[in-house]
Homo-oligomer: A and B are copies of this chain.
Amino acid sequence: MSTEPPMVKAVLEVARRQLGEVGPAALSLRSIAREVGVVPSALYRYLPGREAILTELIRTGYDRLGSAVEEAEATIARQDVRGRWIAVWTATRAWAVAHPHEYALLYGTPVAGYQAPQQTIAPATRVVLTLARIAAAAPVASLHGTANATVLADAEAVIAQLPALGLDADRVGVAEVLAVIESWTLLFGAISFELFGHLRGSMNHGEEYLEHLAHATADRLGL
Contacts and interface: CB of A to CB of B under 8 A. Distances in A.
Contacts of A193: 185, 188-189
A203 B25 contact: no
B25 A205 contact: no
A211 B148 contact: yes
Q: Secondary structure at chain A's binding surface: helix, strand, loop or mixed?
A: helix
A209 B154 contact: yes
A141 interface: no
Interface stretch (A35-43, A78-86, A89-97, A103-111): A103-111
Contacts of A151: 203, 205, 208-209, 212
A145 B26 CA distance: 43
Interface in A188-204: 188-190, 192-193, 196-199, 201-204
A85 to B, nearest CB: 14
